[in-house]
Amino acid sequence: MSESGVQSVERALDILEALADHGGEGGVSEIAARTGLPYGTIHRLLRTLLRRGYVRQEADRRYALGGSLLRVGGAAERMVGLWARPYLSRVVELTGETANLAVLEGDFVVYVAQVASPRKLRMFAEVGRRVLPHCTAVGKVLLADRAAEEAAAILTRAGLPRRTANTIVDLDVMLAELTVVRDRGFGLDLGEEEIGVHCLAVPVRDGDRVVAALSVSGPAERVDTVGPAELASGMREIADELGKEVFAGK
């Protein structure tokens, strides 16, 4: 492939990532602001992506991610889940609790891999399950990497419904919570999705970007026996290896 061909591929991927990172849609001016690409280049690449079904054009002339990505994305999620299992198994060995891997798709969190705790009483989050981000440790970690404006937009679109008495349902309080998560490097769900269940999540990075969240979940009385900072420290080492070896392919 020529150098110009390589550049076109990179720019097309920039456009798809710009749409994916902002709710799955956007206008040409928004894509230009996010990517820094010239308008002419964006229009040319969008024509190709439209023809192949990787984007579609809405009635208001904005662009959205297209159906062809479902086939590619579904296969990629299955492979990531397979490659991630050894790392999740290490988390289970470290904590004794169920380990999960989740990503942000549009405005929702999707669980892409899980290794269950060997204990009789254990937590399950079905692979492929989509959940709201505001009441989960993985969701908080994934949103904490986004700019405050983007996180607020996702939370506003998805909503902050009350799941339990512990759920944060105020947008400003949630944005403050995300600042705490970002500063300390891990997220907590203290019975916010389900009473009696506590979760802790750490970010999985591809370079500077948070691309996934690695979590443990279990009965509150067991998860809380280890201090969260200590637990996060052990998980973070595994998450860093997962990010480098699976997501970054190093």
Q: How many CB atoms lie within 10 A of CB 21?
A: 15
| Long-range contacts at 8-15 (CB < 8 A, ≥ 24 apart) | 8/45, 11/35, 11/37, 11/41, 11/45, 12/45, 12/48, 12/49, 15/42, 15/45, 15/46, 15/49, 15/55
Are 113 and 242 within 8 A, CB to CB? Answer: no
What does pTM read for this prediction? 0.74
- Model pLDDT for residues 142-173, shown as the tens digit of each residue: 999 999 998 999 999 999 999 999 999 999 99
Angle at 32 between CA 31 and CA 35, to 5 degrees: 80
For the chain, domains (ranges, CATH) are 3-66 (1.10.10.10), 70-247 (3.30.450.40)
- Give the C-alpha separation, 56 to 66, whole Å: 5
Are 201 and 95 within 8 A, CB to CB? Answer: no
- Model pLDDT for residues 104-113, shown as the tens digit of each residue: 888 899 898 9
- Model pLDDT for residues 34-85, shown as the tens digit of each residue: 899 999 999 999 999 988 888 888 888 898 888 777 676 666 666 677 788 8
